[in-house]
Amino acid sequence: MKRLIAIIFLLAADIFLLAPPLLAQWEPDVRLTFNNNSNCTSRNNAKCITASGDTVHAVWYGFTSSKVYYIRSTDGGTTWGRDTSFCNSSKNPGISSSGSMVLAVWEDQRGGPCTKISYGRSTNGGTNWEMSPLPISDSAFAANPSVAVIDSFVHVAWNDSREGSCEIYYKRSTDRGITWGPDVRLTTFDSLCSHGPAVTAWGANVHLVWFDSRDSNWEVYYKRSTDRGRSWEPDARLSCHPDTSVFATIAVSDSNIHVVWRDHRDGNNEIYYTRSTNGGSIWEPETRLTCDSALPDYPSLAASGPNVHLCWPFGWNGQHAGIYYKHSSDRGATWGPDTPLTNSRHIPTVPSLITSGPKLHLLWCDDRDGNYQVYYKRNLTGNSGTETAGDRGQRLEVRIKAIPNPFSSFATVPGHSSSRFALYDVSGRRVGTYKGDRIGEGLRAGVYFMRANEGKGKLARIVKVR
């Protein structure tokens, strides 16, 4: 009996010793702002955080100052620089990046009560920013912008009431935000109200979700372009219930597209989910992901390889408030348990969750320190095993050779200047996608491996020197 008790004690001790690393995958909260503002992240599910490699960029706005702010980390979130303000009389920013290219958008109310969409861009990883003297939108009734940057293409969507009804509009740049095409109206149902667009892109495919009232109640809709935003296919309704479905957001990894939203069909707010595994052609039935009396709200979603990550804020239920997290490791087929990421009695604003290699980065605001401040949290291994050279599903056999090699600024692939090429570091982590005339631009010095973004050809070794 004593021997049995001793064995049980040792097993319990082993479990106790193993538990802290499992629980400590998410690091402690880091406070990023120290001011008298009430700071807010955007409420239309535009991403307020983005990353390219170890450079992490974040934006938010001061509710009391009416300014948009920016901050970055160049060491994967370990340390952060000082925040800087972008624009006065502005709110609801979104941000996206691809390599050294970073672009932020926001609502701009300078010059009066009317609102336009303005932007700033950086071509050197956030070191310097160019603020546009002209807004993106041609309207004075624009709001809730969302942005996605991929290679040299920039995709922006927002809701706009210039024609009386509130509709979804879209605009793109094909040259890294230097010039822009015309405003394109994507919804055409007069007298309805369309809100909260969230846009993302993968290769030539651009994916968009929003919610509108065309069916006499709020439902979630989806639309895609397969030619980098030049043309758009018909709308697809994703939610189907005579109750409120709102605040949709989207994440994509190759042909797998994931959408979540807040839904009130069960008598209280819950998070519902659907996915497409064939690039948006067919959608699976809706799935309820939460069961929480604390009213889950404003979800944020990130996808990378087989991993899908979800977080959401929950309000005060008499005992606690904070942010929960949920993870799928099989492309959304099944989901793990809810995990609390914050533990306080203070209700957070909308979180933004992203992946960067094996890391997860999370941004939000809460009022634990007396007024709403910006907080950050990361998980260094939460997305491990994804975005590797062997997990891309490439389809076209292509032999590639970069010139010069080694190179200092960038290399080119003769005959393939407009093709896309994926680069991986020595650990197999994907670090970016580049056009054939700008291979490796913005990367730090090191050894990388290159493969045609749509191909199964052998990896080509390239070297960037200082």
CATH code where residue 451 lies: 2.60.40
Q: Which two tokens stand for residue 444?
A: 């730090």
How do beta strands 236-237 and 245-253 pair? unpaired
Residues 214, 318 within the same domain = yes
Nearest Cα residue to 311 out of 239, 373, 268, 364? 364
Q: Which residues contact 12 (CB under 8 A, 6 or more apart)?
A: none
CATH of the domain at 184: 2.120.10.10
CA distance 257 to 252: 4
Q: Which residues contact 130 (CB under 8 A, 6 or more apart)?
A: 120, 121, 122, 123
CA distance 414 to 223: 35
Is the separation of the CB atoms in 245 and 218 below 8 Å?
Answer: yes
Is residue 162 included in any domain, yes or no? yes
Query: Among residues 330, 357, 379, which one ends one of the domains?
Result: 379
Residues 93, 138 within the same domain = yes
Q: What is the pLDDT of residue 391?
A: 35
Residue with tokens 């600024």: 409
Residues 126, 252 within the same domain = yes
Is residue 19 included in any domain, yes or no? no
Is residue 190 included in any domain, yes or no? yes
CA distance 268 to 295: 6
Q: What is the pLDDT of residue 317?
A: 54
Q: What is the mean pLDDT of the chain?
A: 85
On whether the pTM is more than 0.85, the answer is no
CA distance 326 to 140: 39
Residues 366, 413 within the same domain = no
Q: What is the pLDDT of residue 395?
A: 34
Q: How far is CA 251 from CA 115, 309, 317, 338, in A?
A: 27, 9, 29, 19
Give one DSSP letter per residue of 18-77, joined into a string: HHHHHHTTBPPPEE---SSS-EE--TT---SEEEETTEEEEEEEETTTTEEEEEEESSTT
- 3-state SS assignment for residue 241: coil
Is residue 3 included in any domain, yes or no? no
CA distance 442 to 432: 10
Tally the domains of the chain.
Answer: 2
Q: Which two tokens stand for residue 440?
A: 């490796």
Residue with tokens 């709403």: 372
Is residue 5 included in any domain, yes or no? no
CA distance 459 to 450: 5
Phi, psi of 176 (to 5 degrees): 65, 30
Is residue 21 included in any domain, yes or no? no
Q: What is the pLDDT of residue 1?
A: 45
Nearest Cα residue to 119 out of 101, 102, 137, 105? 105
Query: Among residues 313, 348, 379, which one ends one of the domains?
Result: 379
Q: Which residues contact 328 (CB under 8 A, 6 or more apart)?
A: 307, 308, 310, 334, 335, 336
Q: Which residues of the chain have pLDDT under 70?
A: 1-24, 44-45, 112, 190-191, 293-294, 316-320, 344, 385-399, 415, 418, 453-458
Q: What is the pLDDT of residue 457?
A: 57
Nearest Cα residue to 84 out of 98, 66, 100, 72? 72
Residues 54, 94 within the same domain = yes
CA distance 311 to 376: 13
Is the separation of the CB atoms in 424 and 431 below 8 Å?
Answer: yes
- Exposed/middle/buried for 140, CB within 10 Å: 0-12, 13-18, 19+? middle
In the beta sheet, which residues pair with residue 253?
A: 256
Residues 295, 190 within the same domain = yes
Query: Among residues 322, 356, 379, which one ends one of the domains?
Result: 379
Residues 118, 258 within the same domain = yes
Residues 371, 423 within the same domain = no
Domain carrying residue 401: 388-466
Q: Tell me which amino acid residue 380 is.
A: L
Which stretch of DSSP H or E encloses residue 302?
Answer: strand 300-304
Q: What is the pLDDT of residue 459?
A: 78
Q: Tell me which amino acid residue 58 is.
A: A
Is the separation of the CB atoms in 255 and 277 below 8 Å?
Answer: yes
CA distance 445 to 426: 12
Residues 219, 141 within the same domain = yes
Q: What is the pLDDT of residue 297?
A: 81
- Give the E-state strand segments of 41-183 in sequence order: 49-52, 55-62, 67-73, 84-88, 90-98, 101-108, 116-122, 130-131, 142-150, 153-163, 165-173
Calculate the CA 81 to chain-centre distance. 21
Q: What is the pLDDT of residue 385?
A: 64
Is residue 366 included in any domain, yes or no? yes
CA distance 66 to 88: 6
Residues 265, 411 within the same domain = no
Residues 330, 251 within the same domain = yes
Is residue 203 included in any domain, yes or no? yes
Q: Which two tokens stand for residue 454?
A: 């749509």
Is the separation of the CB atoms in 197 and 210 below 8 Å?
Answer: yes
Residues 375, 397 within the same domain = no
CA distance 434 to 104: 20
Which stretch of DSSP H or E encloses residue 8?
Answer: helix 2-23
